[in-house]
Each structure stands twice: as structure tokens, then as C-alpha cells.
Structure 1
Amino acid sequence: MRFPAIDIIIPVYNAYEDLQRCLDSVLRTTMPQHRIVMIDDCSTDSRIADYFEMLKNRADPRLYLFRNDINLGFVGTVNRGMALGQSDVVLLNSDTVVTSGWIEKLCSCAASDLHIGTITPFSNNAEICSFPNFCQDNSLPQGMSAEDVNRAIEAAAVPVYPDIPTGVGFCMFIRRQLLNKIGMFDADTFRLGYGEENDFCMRALAAGWRNVLCDDTFIQHVGKRSFSEKKDELVEQNMQRLLAKHPDYMQRVMAFIVADPIKPIRQLAQSFLSLTSADGDKPGILHIIHGRSGGTEQHTLDLINSKNGGCRHYLMVATDDVWQFKDANSGELVTYQFTRQPDQLWTDYLATLCASFRIHLCHVHHLAGCRQGLLEALPNLEIPFGFSVHDFFLACPTINLLDASGMYCGSETDISRCQGCLNAQSDFRGIDIAAWRAMHANFIERAAFVIAPSNMAAEMFSRYFLRNDIRIIRHGADFTATHINAPTSALLLPRDAYHNIGILGAIGPVKGARQLERLVARSRERKLPFRWVVVGYMDRQFQPYQSADTLLVVHGQYIPEQMEALLDHYRINLVVFPSAGPETFCYTLTEAWMAGRPVLVPPIGALYERVQETGAGWVMEDWRDIDVILDDVCRILQPENSADFIQKQKKARAVPITSVHDMAVETEAVYREILQHSDVKFAGPLPKTTLYSALQAALGVEAAERRRSLSIGERGLLWLAHLGLRLRYTAIGRWLYRIVPVRWQQILKQRLLA
């Protein structure tokens, strides 16, 4: 596509080395139909005149060289350049480095909407158009050039061309029709420079034009070398002049900064930038989970955040047609939302997403959020996938093998008995268990690896699915116990002779919520000196709670680092796990042991296995019988058994805990082993329409946030700052300005006058 001629206006004042670098980049990337208008504003560096003479001798037809007879300042020089023709113009600072396709992309942006008046690209140093960090002077990523960053932004771009309140003068496209409509820069008001483009953009908005970001273009901006000595004085004076002309300017720009509506665009570009950096050569791992919190999510996040450095990790929460994709490889967590189109095949949906982010392997932690779609997509991918056993959902839709009574079925495998069990439960009635297991057997057969966190979990899983190569990698934990003498959120308990017995974590049916209720009721009936304290919450009691007789206490949510302090506060020496179904690992058991508390567990699942291995607790005689469990507790707490109790405490404290780092190292070793024997083939990347939908959804959320009114405090600070700036050189103005926080002064004074 051939675009109309553009006048590229480069005002020049000293900065010889910057100018050379800038012009070299412009000449390298600019087509013959465009004019490059360079105006020397009486530079004091004699090398500038020599350079212009050399350029004249080069006789490049694109170059138009001028020199002011007197120093006009930036604004006057730019106006002279804009008056030399009738084409659209691009104002370009001499301390920039342009990149491939820059002028064509600015023209494409202009052609997308005739109401666009000004266009500003991304840059490392461009205030509200800065990348990757908003309103900051960013260095280029280590080992990367401006072209590298530009390619990443191009790859990520749809583009969207979002509105911005003001252009930034380091590189700004201006439509000629807009110049004809509202005139040029206000040289009488802004003189040498600073604030003139902000004034121009405010006038453009008032006349019905748009100021937009060209979000598929990146141009390097070294800084403000030409005016460095005069900058502070010019900013002070011209801010007052700008506010005098446009009293709402500050509030417009501050609202934009607070909302940061273009953040999703920057984030997507950051993800693509990480793929072009040195880390881009690392294998990409996509972790797939459901949308519920708990141990599965904790384990997955531990792997992603382990900072092991061997892989790039991504997280996908798959829920029906809407998949939330999270990337933390660029330093901050970036979240996208992708939606499958009605006619899009599941395999294509997943394959294109994997191709866009160069995913080499999928690690499935759960299928529950999008079971049918993932079962269709994963076996047909051109990249390998593996599976971690976090529960028994693939064997039974009850997830934890609970029967109609709410208790563990004993890992029943007989199809007829299992079908009868499901039919007896309203939530699962009608599910064909034979088809269920057959579908998942095909999925597991095709998996490149299967990982389980305990031998018991692997053994139980293999009863339903024929895999004799399940890897055992225990879940890691890195939190350290911190002693807090009086946690402010803890409840107060009576000082009495009762034994306070701990129950840890989020207690739902499988964790024994109904069992616990029966234990409390039976303790009350038998008048046992037991108080049951839940350090966590229950499915029927989320908030802190204490029964009238204090026999049941619910602390509420906690953080693992506070566990030992909370157990000390509640005077808990014994922790009981009343689980109704088998655990595959159990993080709260690790927390209890790290706090030096022995445990009483049922003879099922990983709880039984881990206690048997370590000796750091006891196993229930009959975990289904409430009275027998209470008898077990009575026996453990008898004074004559205190020596055994102390020994179990010592063993609990001495239990070796796998670190997150070691867990991640073991897991990544599995990845590398699989990838050594895999010929990964990427599909085509995400269609631009899919990226556009994801960005539009994100931008819609940000736009709603942008529309929110500022808080009373924010409005007050803005009013004070505004008044202080207006009256800067009066006594009251100086006082008002001093009481405004420095951060707000910087935002208002430095960031908004690019």
C-alpha cells in the first residue's frame, strides 16, 4: 500500500551525536516520497553546520535543510517546518531512533479514522506512551535494540489505536486538516518549548479530533538533551500557561494516569517481548488448572514462581469457552482473557494459543473447568502434554471417591457398583461411569508423563488407569514459621483445663466438615474436656466464630507463615485430620509438622502414608466411628502417654520438608526428558481477531475503571496542586505547592509535560 507523502520535521539544536544517530535511522527506514525537513535553530556546536554542509553535498532528494537566522526556540522552529508544505507532518526530536516501518504504521493509523488528529507511538521514554513501564524513562531491555522491541510490539499488536488525552512531542503525527482547522503551535505562549503539544492536543479535542496511540510502533527516545539546562524553568513557567488556557487539562491527564487504560496493550507486548529476549529460547510450559483455589492452585503457582530459570512458565485457567491466560515472565503478572469462537475447533483454539506464546509442553493439573474441550484438544496437539494427580476426578466425578454417605468408598473399581453409587447421589445421577473412565483412560494413555505427590496417590490412581511409570514428586513448601506473640485477628479462649485440638485449613465435606460437626456434638454429649479449634474455615462457617460453650472455634483465613504463632495462641498441641476421603498430599499436614505438632490421621490416602513414613503422629483405629476417634484422642492425651507424645513432637519437628526449589528442579527434569524426545511443531499463531477480542475485553474493563470518579482525597490533592501551580510565584502558592506530596508534584509537573 502506498501512502501519501509526509513531511518529517526534525528541529535541531546541538546534540550532534544524537542527531547523527536519529537521521541515520530515518534515512534507513523512510520511503522516497516523504520529505525530511531539518531546521537548525542556530546551534552553538559548530559541528552541526558542518554536518548540514555534508548532507547538502550528499544530495539526497528526501532531505530539505534550513537554518534559522535567529534562535526561534523549539516551538517557532517546528511552526516554520509545518508551514513549508501542505502535507501531513510528523514532528520528530533529534534524540530519537526510529524503527522499521514506523512511518507506514503511523500512516495506517491515520487512515483508520479521519477524525484522528494526532498520533504518538510507544517509546522507552514518552510519559503516558512509555513502554514497558508507564510514565517512566525505561532503559532498553538488556541485549536488545530498539528494532527488537519494535518487532515484539508489532507481533503483539492488533492494533487498537486507543485514545489518549494528549500526544507526546518526541514523535507526533499531525494531520494537515487539523493544522488548517485550529492553527499551529502557540509560539507566543510557549516560546522555547514545553507544553506546546499538550496545548495543541487540548485544542484538537475541543475541535472534535482524536489523539491516539499507535500501539504497533516503538521508537527509541534518548531524552531531552537539547533543553536539559533550561528544562526545570521552562516546565514551571509553561505549566502555568498551559493551565491558564486549559483548566481541566490536569484532571484529564491525571484521570488517565490513575486508570491506565492502555495497560492491557503494554502487557501483551511485554509477553511477546519476553519471547524475543534471551529467555525466549527456554522451553515454554503451559500449566492448565480449574478456576478454584486450593492445593492444586498453590502447587501450580509454586512451580511458576519458583524462579528456577530453566523454563518459561504460563498459567491457564480453563473455564468453558473462556480461558484466562497468565504470564509472569516479564516480571509482573499479566493476565489475558481469550474466548473460543462458536465455530472454532478446541484443538485449533489451544494450538494457536500455544503457538503464539511458543508453548513446548502442556502440564495439566486439572480438567474440571473445561473437561470436554481439553479432552478433545490435548491429544490432538502437535506438542506433548502431561498430567499431575491432585485428586481422583478422572476416576470418579465425585472427585474424592465419596459414596452416598459422604465417606470414602475404598477405591471401588467395579463398574456396576460405581454406577449404583453415582445414581444414589443427585449431583452425579445419570453419569455413565464406564464412558467417563474410558474417555479419561484414552487421555492418560496419550500423556507424556504422569506425576503424583505421594506413593499412595500413585497407587490409587493406577487402580483405574494403566500407568506403571508414574513419577513421585512431593509438593514443596518454602514458608517459614514466624512467631507472633498476639495475632491481632485471633479469638480469645477461656483459660481452663480443656484440651484445644486443632483442625487446619479449608474444611469442606472431603476434609471432614461433617465429621468435625459430629466430633463436636459427641464431645459435648460425653462431656469430654475437648475444644475443637479450626485454624482456617468451614464450608458452613467462613468467618471467625465461637460457639456459646466455646467447644467449636473457627479462626478464619490465615497465612501459612503464621501457623505456629496461631497454634501457640490457641494452645493447640495436637492436630486432628477428620478427612472423609483420601488426600493425595495435604499441605496442612506439612504446616502442622513445621510447627512441631504431631497429628492424628485416618488410615487412608497420603495422610496415612506420610505418618507411617515419619512416625510423627498416630493413625485412627476406626476413622468412620466418631466415638472411636474420641477414644483415640483421650488415649493420646493421657498423662501416662506424655513420653510418647513428646517423642512424636520431636519427630514432627524433624520431618524433612521438600523445598519448592527442589520440587521445581525435579519437575523441570521431567519436562526436559520429554522434550528431548519430542519434535515440537507449532501451529499458526492466534488470529488477530482473537487478540483483538482479548484486548477489547481488557480495554473495556479499563475504560470502566477510567470512568470512575476520582476519590475525594484525589480531587483535593488535584485542586491544591492546580492552585499551587497557578499561583506558583506567590507566597500562598509556594505554601500550597509544598503541602502537596512529592509524588503528585512529579506526576503533575514532570510527567504531564512531555
Structure 2
Amino acid sequence: MTRLTPLPLLSAEAIGLDDRDRTVGGEPSHTLDFIDTAARLLRSGHPYHAWRLIDRVTRVYQLKSVDLTLLQAKALEHCRQPNAAVELLFNARRRFPDNDTLAAYLLELLEAHPQPPNPASRQLAWAALARHDQPVDVLRAARILTRFGDAPIGACRFDGETLSGWLLNAERQPPLSVVLDGIDYTLKPFLATPLLNRNGLGGERDGFSFKLPYRPRHIRVHLANKDLAGSPLVFSGASDVASSGDAALTIAEQDGAVDVIVPVYKGYAETKACLKSVLTAANRTAYRLIVVDDASPDPLLATYLRKLADQGHITLVKQAVNAGFVQSVDRGLRLGPHRDAILLNADTVVHGDWLDRLRDAAYLANDIGTVTPFSNNGELVSYPTPMRAWALPKPAVLQRLDRLCAELPADSIVDIPVGVGFCLYIKRQCLTEAGGFDSRMIERGYGEDTEFCLRAERRGWRNVCTPRVFVGHAGSVSFGTEKADLAAKNVAKIYARYPDHSDQYDRFLSEDPLRPIRLALQRQFLPMRSGKRAELALLPTAQPDDLRGEWLAQGLSQTATFTLQASRAADGALSLSLQSTRTETPLSLHYRWPDDEQPLWQDLSRLNLARIDIYNLADWPFQIGPGLIELAIPYRIFLSDYAAYCPRITLTRPNAAFCGDPPNITACVECIDRYGSRLPDLNSPADLRQGSRQLLANASGVYLASRDGLNRFRRRFPEVRFRYRAPNRASDRDTAENIPPLPRDRHLRIAVIQAAPGGDDFEALLNMSRWLAARRLNAELIVFGESVDDGALLATGRAWVVGALAYREIPRMLALHRCSLILDASRWPQIEPIAWRLAKTCGLPIAAPAIGTYADLLDPTAGDIPLAPDATAENWLNAVLSAHPAISP
């Protein structure tokens, strides 16, 4: 064996993890303890240990501290991983959108480590220019935008008297346009900008500053229709004053008509489809279609709107500057001070007598203030799953859904905590009593509907949903990548003003009173859901820490039209979820087994299925086999374990020892009597094999990715035709963005993949880490997922437990943890070589017991290390360390 030179490793105690902290599920120490420990590690020259400490505690305890995030990013930067640090900070900005320190550090990283141009980086840089307050941030933002090739680059501000700002390289560019309350002026910068000049940016006369003769309501400073940072400027109270052109459009009397208000900024195709659907819908209710052009930068869209207005189809209101959704809505609402109104997003599509049905719902009771329809993308009123945004279905599907909704009883309404602004009917009396939308609280949009509805509720008005109307909604066309930041900022303000709203919202989602209606609609929709024959995949459970199950669920259903996935609760209760993989046909039906067995078979029989693919028998109830056979639909089975004839699934005993796959069933009965079954519904090996024989024999094909497994099954079920399916490497889409590994050091880090979630292999892992510690070797086990006892492994100082993570995260984490080798520590004859797949995808060698599929796959010429299946853990480590003499200094 090659003995590696010892290195000073940091034990769990050294980095501040006490017994309580190391135990998964225990109460964490105060966040400040972790911050202090990570900062100490960073100061003492251990950035890798600082990073992985924070990564673990954030995974295990779900901590969301800005300071922890900043420290973790700093550690990644010191580990020469600036791209990973940038991504971490951008993700954190969704949780902490107003944190200036986080934004400043992001600018510093983006300047020091050039990134490809992307919307998030641009938005961050332009926001820094608009703030003006930190000169170093302004310089960094200007350099970043210059590198991106943006033009023009500049900023402006108004202090109540003086309009000032700068335009980079103004001497080489045309004059600026300054728009004051709709009147255009030209401006050529004429002042020196010392800050820019001293730092090698711009020319000698890039600045401007002058007093305005009066205080305007709107100011816009732009060059060729591209605004400087800080422009446009819209001042508080400006929206309360009607523009001169609004007087002729205002309707003063109550006439029973409804104003449909559509604010427009971007999205020519979506806006055109929306307006066409409104104008061609057949309704008895009189309405006026008001389109508020919020200074759209799209000339094609502006021309289209003007054409509709000239033809008399719409009432067009043009904003002098882009004031945001809230002020656009407010201006539209003021045009009909006695009319009910519908706020309709420009990326929606309506059908039939949608307006009549919305109005009818609003007047079912005097205290109803707002009405929201169903939608594919409507937050708590989303169909078929609340709080999930489904892609916009095809026109025929949308039309069919709306027809089905229209057939519901006329009094079908459900009270909801708040209305949703993609399509919101508001009674005028409710609007008058509650007041308009709050443009001072809500920034530019997102959350304005929530705040208004909560304010109305305090005054006794109800918010309801009518499932009798279905409105298609594309989502985020105008705001694009800005949505996440806007939503985070505004939601925080709403929760501060309405502290009970969060619990009310969660309670509604938990009770889900709309669920029976969703289910009924889906079952009505099933017969016409697929014009051609469809495919169904029965997927295994995929819990967050079940890497194997998640991989199977991701990788084996790419061609299926529908999926049926099993999940077990902590009490063992089984539920099944039927989903569509096609965005144009949203479907999400759930069943409790065995209570809903008959509805399940009825629904599957209506799907026009041509084939069913079944994966991982261990996750399915034993009784599901006869039901599948009775459907008379061809099905294939892909075996990934031995649950068809071994109640322990993997042919192993609790000590992880391979049982030898005895041919005599008596030995199997004794094993189950002594160690118990891992199949929740079955303990008898004989009953299991009899039921499996029928299920396998009726399959159109039974496939295994292991020749060894193929031979074992053929011996057990000679009458079944089994087929070999060669295992494949992961495709590019299965891996995360390629991150270069951290700089190699003299430390061997062995990634443990397959054994992490289960308990059978834990003792082997613990013995290996203790063996490394006793010999003070500079090698370490990096355990991906969770173990039976994280604390015991961490205490050895030669093992690190990453914590629960998704399968798609593993390639990235392998690189960040500097892993040189993957170890599959499972001793049973595996069929699906998941660890091998990851190793080959990431270009790493793998060590694994030469049994099962690994007997064929391991390639010593590529650095793979075959391990003796019956050898001790220490012998395995000897084999691994002997194969890596280059690690030794």
C-alpha cells in the first residue's frame, strides 16, 4: 500500500460542529456561531472548509442568512471559483433583493471576473448607476456595461430643482433628449466628470446640471429611445392628476358597462393575441377596452395599438414615460369613475362569454368585491395545480377548458384570500371604498393586486374565484427577468403591513377548496386529451435525499406522455400522482392507495394509452400488478433491483452482506423471518414470486442494464423473456453547468454516492473513515446525501456529509469538493449503475465491488478500481490508495 503523507485536517470539533450540530434533524446552533466559525476558517487560510461548512448547515438547517451567503461566496472566490460565487449571490438576491452589501459584492465580482452578458448582470449594473450613492459601485457598473457593449451608458437624477447626470463619451454621441411633461428638448452634456475621468472612463465633458424653471410631473432623459439610469422620473402624486387628453375619454355616468383595462409595455405577439381574443369574444355585457401604452419601446407594438384606436376598437391612453403597471392601471381606472373594471394582463387569452360569466359571479352577493377566474398560470387559482405555472396550452385546449368551465353551475364560486391580477374583476363600489392601487408601496408591479384585495377585505369585501371562466396566461412577458426581484421586494412590504396574510394563504392552500372542481374538470377533459396514442411511465419515488430514485425518475421517462409516480408518507401511506409531461395538456391527478384504486384504473383506461413502462417494482404495491394486466394495455418493465423475488430488494442482509442469491427458497424465508421485509405490503417470498411471475410473463418486454442481473432473473423465471439494455452515460442536459474543479491539493477526496441515503452500508463507511483517521492519512470521504448518523461520520475527521441534494446538483458538487474518485460502496449485485454514470459524465474514475453490472463496466485502463465484493472496508481503502500514488507529495 502507498502511505500518504499526513496533512493537518480540520475535524468537526475544529470547525465548530458539536454533537448537536452534527446530528441531522437536531436544533442548529445560533446562526452567528456558524458565521463566526466560517469567518475564522476564511481568515486562517481555509476557504474550502469555510465554504463546505456553510453549504452543509444551509442544507441541513435551511438557514437563509445574508451574512452566511456572503461568507460562502467569499470562500468560493478564494477557492478560485468566481462563477460559482456569482451564481450563489444572484440566487440570494431573490431572497434579499434590498441588501446593498450583496449587490455591491456582486458588482465587485462581475468587474474582476468578466462574465458573458446576461439580463441579471445588466439589471444589477443599471440599478447601481441609478442609485448614484456609492462612487465605487458607479465605476464598476460603468465598466461592466462598457464591457457588455451597452450604449448609451449614463445616469440622471432630479433633486426637486436641479436635473443633473452624465453620459459616457458624450462628445462622440448625439445630443440627449429631455422630455418634460411630454415636451421634448435636446441637451448636449457640457460639464467635466472628475470621478469618471480619474478612472479612465468617458471624455472631458460628459456631465450636465441645470435648474428647471418649474417642477414637472414626468421627466425622461434618453438617447435614441434608450433611457439613462434613473429615467424616467415620475413624482409622487403625479398619477392623481389627469392628463389633458383624458377629459374627453372619461365616462362620468353609471351605464352598466364594464371597463376592460389592459396595460401594455412589451410583447407584440402576446398583446395582439390578447386584444383579438377580447374583441372577438361574444358577450351581452357592454364594455370598453382601454389599452394603456406605458411608453412601450416597441415601435411595432405602438403602431398596432394606434391602428386599433383609429379604427375605434380600443380606447388608447399613452403614458409620457414608463410609469409601471400600478400607475398605468390607476390611469385606466380613472376614465370610468362609476364603472366596474377588469384588469387584464396583455399576455392573457379569453374565450366566449367570459365577461358575462365574470360579471355574473361578481353579483351573486352584495359583498363580493373581486372575482378571479381559473388559469394555467394564476398562483393559488392555477389549474390543475395551485402555485404552479403551467405553460400556455394550445388554443384548442384553452377553448375546450373554458367550455368545460362554463358548464359548471352558475353559482360556482369559492372564497379566496386575495384575487390575482392577471384577470381581476373589481366592483366599482369596492374600488371606491377601498381606494385605488398603492403606487407608493408597490414598486412598478407585482403584489399590487394582493395589497388591494387585503385592503378591501379589511373593509368587509370578499375576494372570490369563479371556476366557470378559464383565462390562459403566458406570464412575465413585460417584466422578464425583473419579475423575481420585484416580487421579492413587494411581497416583503405586504407581509409587513398584513402580518396575518401568510398564515391565511397557507391555510387556504392546505385546505384547497378548489381541489374537487379541479379534479372534476380534469376527468371531463381526459377523453379528448390525446388525439393519438399516448405512453405512460410508472416512476419510482423520488425523495430529495433519494439520489437513485430521483435519477430513475429523471432519466427513464423522456418519451412518456404521462407519468404515474408513487410516494410514501412517514406513516407508510401510499399516494400516486398522475401527471402530463406535455405542457399543452396540463394534468395533475392524485390518488390514495388502495382507497382510490378504482378511480385510478378508470382514469388510465380513458387516456388512450398505447403502452405503459414500469420502473422499479419496489415502490409499487404488490396488488397493482393484476390491475395493470386487466387494463389490457401493452406494458414493459425495466428492472433496477431484485424486488420481483427478494423482499429485501437488494439480496443483502442488514449488515450489507450479499446473501449469495440462494436457489433454495427456504433460506429466503429464514432471512425474512429474521431480518424482515423492505416491501411494505409483502413478507412472503413465495407469494412475491408468484405475483411477479404473472406480471413479468404478461409484459411485452422485461429489460435489465446488467448481464449479471439478467442471468439471475432467468434462473428464477425461466418462462419470461428478459432482455439486456446497455447502460448509457448521462447526456449533457442531465449535468449542471460545467464548473472547473477546485485547485488540486495533496488531499484525496473520495465521493461516496450510492451508499449515502441507505443504512445497510453505513458501518462500512464509518469503518473506512475511522481507519483513515487512525492512520492520519490525507484522504477523506465526501458522502453525498444523508447517512444514518452524520455526527458519527463527521466526528472521525475523515468524512464529510454534504446533506440532502438533488441528483442534478451532483456533478457541480463533485467539482467543488475537489473529488478525485467516486466510490460505490454498495455490495449487492446492482443493475442500474448510477454512480458509474455520474463518474463517466464527470470524467472521474470509479471504485466499486466487481459484482453485478460493475463486473462488466469497470475499466482499469481508465483508472477504475475493481473491489473484491467480500473484502473488508480496510482492504477496499488499501486498493484505492495503492492506485493513487500521485496524491502523495
The answer to whether the 8 A contact 1:152-1:272 is kept is no
Trace 1:479-498 onto structure 2 (pairs within 5 A).
479=735, 482-485=739-742
CA separation in 2, counterparts of 1:154 and 1:198?
26
User: Which fold has the larger relative contact order, with Cα–Cα distance below 8 Å and residues 6 or more apart in sequence?
Assistant: 1
CA separation in 1, counterparts of 2:389 and 2:655?
63
User: Cα distance, 1:329 vs. partner?
Assistant: 3.4
CA separation in 1, counterparts of 2:505 and 2:381?
14
CA separation in 1, counterparts of 2:466 and 2:829?
55
Aligned partner of 2:541 in structure 1 is 290
Aligned partner of 2:643 in structure 1 is 393
The answer to whether the 8 A contact 1:12-1:19 is kept is no
User: Cα distance, 1:217 vs. partner?
Assistant: 0.6
Trace 1:87-102 onto structure 2 (pairs within 5 A).
99-100=351-352, 102=354
Question: Which structure 1 segments of 5+ residues have no match?
Answer: 1-6, 50-72, 83-88, 191-195, 223-246, 488-492, 646-754
Q: Which one of the candidate residues 455, 477, 488 is aligned to 2:730?
A: 477
What percentage of residue pairs aligned between the two structures are identical?
Answer: 18
User: Cα distance, 1:472 vs. partner?
Assistant: 0.7
Distance 1:187 1:278, change over 3 A: closer
The answer to whether the 8 A contact 2:374-2:471 is kept is yes
Distance 1:528 1:463, change over 3 A: farther
CA separation in 1, counterparts of 2:749 and 2:453?
68
Deviation digits for residues 625-652 of structure 1 (CA, Å, limit 9, x no counterpart)? 557656655765689xx9xx9xxxxxxx
Distance 1:131 1:433, change over 3 A: closer
Question: Which structure 2 segments of 5+ residues have no match?
Answer: 1-254, 262-271, 291-307, 314-331, 438-447, 475-492
Distance 1:39 1:256, change over 3 A: same
Q: Which one of the candidate residues 542, 545, 564 is aligned to 2:790?
A: 542
User: Cα distance, 1:515 vs. partner?
Assistant: 3.1
Aligned partner of 1:408 in structure 2 is 658
CA separation in 1, counterparts of 2:379 and 2:456?
20
Aligned partner of 2:177 in structure 1 is none
Trace 1:337-486 onto structure 2 (pairs within 5 A).
338-340=590-592, 344=595, 346=597, 348-354=598-604, 360-403=610-653, 406-426=656-676, 431-465=683-717, 466-478=719-731, 479=735, 482-485=739-742
Matched, 1:25 2:273: no
Deviation digits for residues 548-579 of structure 1 (CA, Å, limit 9, x no counterpart)? 5x555556567432466357x46x4x655443
Distance 1:436 1:167, change over 3 A: closer
Trace 1:117-156 onto structure 2 (pairs within 5 A).
118-122=370-374, 147-148=399-400, 150-151=402-403
Deviation digits for residues 425-470 of structure 1 (CA, Å, limit 9, x no counterpart)? 2457992211111112222222333232222232223333342242
Aligned partner of 1:300 in structure 2 is 553
The answer to whether the 8 A contact 2:406-2:469 is kept is yes
Distance 1:514 1:637, change over 3 A: same
Write the letter of the residue equivalent to 1:560.
Answer: I
CA separation in 1, counterparts of 2:431 and 2:769?
81
Trace 1:481-630 onto structure 2 (pairs within 5 A).
482-485=739-742, 503-507=752-756, 512-519=761-768, 531-536=779-784, 539-542=787-790, 546-547=794-795, 550=797, 559-562=809-812, 565=815, 569=818, 572=820, 576-611=823-858, 616-620=863-867, 623-625=870-872, 629=876
CA separation in 2, counterparts of 1:635 and 1:289?
38
Distance 1:468 1:134, change over 3 A: closer
Write the letter of the residue equivalent to 2:534.
Answer: P
Trace 1:34-53 onto structure 2 (pairs within 5 A).
none
Deviation digits for residues 689-738 of structure 1 (CA, Å, limit 9, x no counterpart)? xxxxxxxxxxxxxxxxxxxxxxxxxxxxxxxxxxxxxxxxxxxxxxxxxx
TM-score normalised per structure 1: 0.54
CA separation in 1, counterparts of 2:739 and 2:343?
56
CA separation in 2, counterparts of 1:634 and 1:130?
55
CA separation in 1, counterparts of 2:349 and 2:782?
62
CA separation in 2, counterparts of 1:329 and 1:432?
40
User: Cα distance, 1:124 vs. partner?
Assistant: 9.6
1:605 alignment partner, SS class: coil
Deviation digits for residues 97-155 of structure 1 (CA, Å, limit 9, x no counterpart)? 86346478558857987864653435799999899999999997565586355247669
CA separation in 1, counterparts of 2:785 and 2:388?
43
Aligned partner of 1:698 in structure 2 is none
| Stretch moving more, 104-113 or 123-132 | 123-132
CA separation in 2, counterparts of 1:431 and 1:125?
45
Distance 1:156 1:438, change over 3 A: farther
CA separation in 1, counterparts of 2:289 and 2:876?
90
Deviation digits for residues 222-264 of structure 1 (CA, Å, limit 9, x no counterpart)? 9xxxxxxxxxxxxxxxxxxxxxxxx999956995899597898
| Stretch moving more, 95-104 or 273-282 | 273-282
CA separation in 1, counterparts of 2:799 and 2:343?
71
Write the letter of the residue equivalent to 1:540.
Answer: V
The answer to whether the 8 A contact 2:359-2:425 is kept is no
Distance 1:588 1:127, change over 3 A: closer
The number of aligned residues is 547
Trace 1:256-335 onto structure 2 (pairs within 5 A).
281=532, 283-290=534-541, 292=543, 293-304=546-557, 311-319=560-568, 320-327=573-580, 329-330=582-583
Deviation digits for residues 171-228 of structure 1 (CA, Å, limit 9, x no counterpart)? 7486xxxx9xx799689999xxxxx999998897467452312123135899xxxxxx
Write the letter of the residue equivalent to 1:294.
Answer: L
The answer to whether the 8 A contact 2:823-2:848 is kept is yes
Write the letter of the residue equivalent to 2:399.
Answer: E
CA separation in 1, counterparts of 2:885 and 2:349?
79
User: Cα distance, 1:581 vs. partner?
Assistant: 1.4
CA separation in 1, counterparts of 2:389 and 2:824?
54
The answer to whether the 8 A contact 2:367-2:462 is kept is yes
CA separation in 1, counterparts of 2:534 and 2:804?
37
CA separation in 2, counterparts of 1:566 and 1:516?
22
